[in-house]
Amino acid sequence: MKKLINNPNNVVEEMIDGYVKAHPTYIKRLEENDRSLVTARKTTDNKVGILIGGGSGHEPGFLGYVGDGMADGVAVGNIFASPPPAPILEVTKAIDKGAGVVYLYGNYAGDVMNFGMAADLADMEDIHVEMVLTTDDVASAPIEEKEKRRGIAGEFFVFKTAGAAADQGYNLGEVARIARKTNEFTRSMGVGLTPCSLPQTGEPSFEIGDNEMELGLGHHGEPGIKKVPMDKADNIADELLKHIFADMPLNKDDEVAVLVNGLGSTPRLELYIMYRRVEQVLKEKGIHIYRSYVGDYITSLEMGGCSITLTKVDDELKKLIDHPVDCPMFVQK
């Protein structure tokens, strides 16, 4: 696999270096830890801090979402690996304004342990931390074991609403409530067409035939529910939506936010063909699309494929979804 890199061992450091130099008015690196990035902007006093984080390779997730209206800081891990507690703790200290900090991250064994250890360390420094895990991937566990599900692209909506709530002056408990509520109302499912490869190994992350796709693929290349023959976009969209509807029943006149997320190497052209079908199906069911997002929001290096996310929104969540955002990789006016 061809990649624009220098030394495979330095890809994360060099990316961060490029990122902070490209966007100095948005983001800065903390002196205490190379993997700790915080907003360069002044935020309002007494604002609850929003800390996001996870492995690298998901860009714009997660460092791309530090900015006005979203996160205040990010702890950056190695490729597809949770950051250790040290950078999480440093970001926590830097963004706490006395109102506490909310950690938002996907439900993976490594993230749970590292963010948990960081929260214990923050507690020793008298910083109040709330942790909210995202569990939107319907393919990763049955509904009766929802707490085992991994977080995929639906994390974007959790960052969006929790970030807006913090910006609008919600207190620590309320921001955490919004994040949990958003996660509760969010479902995603993905499909993988082609694998990505880690810079250090160069090997494809999973095996798949030319005429096959992996339904329910995880965004680190974890195998999904099953491999099936490649199909037309409309049929794939129908299949993904079928799983989502079975998991989160939606009624006529319900309102949803929609995200059709590219995994890295799938062109917008194809993502909009997928969106086209999603819109048709929702319309047939009488479900209203409140806002839609189409593009690469949480990727998996150069993996091919996409995921569909639906978040059921009420008046409270709609107000937060509409809140303006200004981040290096995501702007909403």
**Applying CB under 8 A, which of residues 83, 100, 192, 304 lies at the interface with other proteins?**
83
Task: Please say which residue, 88 or 313, places its beta carbon nearer to other proteins.
Answer: 88
79 touching other proteins, by CB under 8 A: yes
**For other proteins, which stretch binds (CB under 8 A), given 21-29, 94-102, 105-113, 283-291?**
105-113
Q: How far is the CB of 64 from other proteins (least distance, A)?
A: 19
138 vs 127: CA distance, rounded Å: 34
Member of 36, 114, 134, 161 binding other proteins (CB under 8 A): 114
User: 3-class DSSP state for residue 310?
Assistant: strand
CB of 307: closest distance to other proteins in angstroms?
15
Residues in contact with other proteins, counted by CB under 8 A, come to a total of 35
Stretch that binds other proteins, among 134-142, 256-264, 280-288, 289-297 (CB under 8 A): 134-142
Tokens of 197: 């490869």
Q: Is 9 in the site for other proteins (CB under 8 A)?
A: yes
Helix (H) or strand (E) holding 277: helix 268-284
> Which listed range, 22-30, 136-144, 185-193, 258-266, lies at the site for other proteins (CB under 8 A)?
136-144
Examine residue 141 and tell whether it contacts other proteins (CB under 8 A): yes
Question: What are the φ/ψ torsions at residue 144 (nearest 5 degrees)?
Answer: -70, -15
**CA gap 9, 16 in Å, rounded:** 13
Distances (CA, A) of 104 to 71, 161, 180, 232, 321: 9, 11, 10, 35, 17
**Position 150 contacts other proteins (CB under 8 A):** yes
Question: Token pair of 170, please?
Answer: 């919600």
Judged by CB under 8 A, does residue 80 bind other proteins? yes
Per the CB < 8 A criterion, the answer to whether 179 and 132 are in contact is yes
> How large is the greatest C-alpha to C-alpha distance in the chain, in angstroms?
55
Segment near other proteins (CB under 8 A); pick from 64-72, 109-117, 162-170, 313-321: 109-117
Q: Given 23, 58, 219, 243, which residue is catalytic?
A: 58
Is residue 58 among the annotated active site residues? Answer: yes
Q: Check binding of 16 to other proteins (CB under 8 A).
A: no
Give the Cα separation of 306 and 240 in Å (integer): 10
By CB under 8 A, what part of segment 171-230 binds other proteins? 198, 200-201, 203-206, 218, 220-224
User: Rounded to the nearest whole angstrom, what is the least distance from the CB of residue 45 to other proteins in the complex?
Assistant: 32
Cβ-in-10-Å burial (0-12, 13-18, 19+) of 255 comes to middle
Catalytic: 220?
yes
Of 23, 219, 220, 243, which residue is the catalytic one?
A: 220
Alpha carbon distance 227, 301 (integer Å): 21
CA separation for the pair 175, 152 (Å, rounded):
20
Q: Which of residues 18-47 bind other proteins (CB under 8 A)?
A: none
What is the side-by-side strand order in the sheet with 226-229? 226-229, 212-215, 186-194, 304-312, 255-262, 288-295
Q: Which is nearer to other proteins, 86 or 230 (CB)?
A: 86
| Residues annotated as part of the active site | 58, 220
* Binding-site ranges for other proteins (CB under 8 A): 9, 77-86, 108-110, 113-114, 117, 139-141, 148, 150, 198, 200-201, 203-206, 218, 220-224
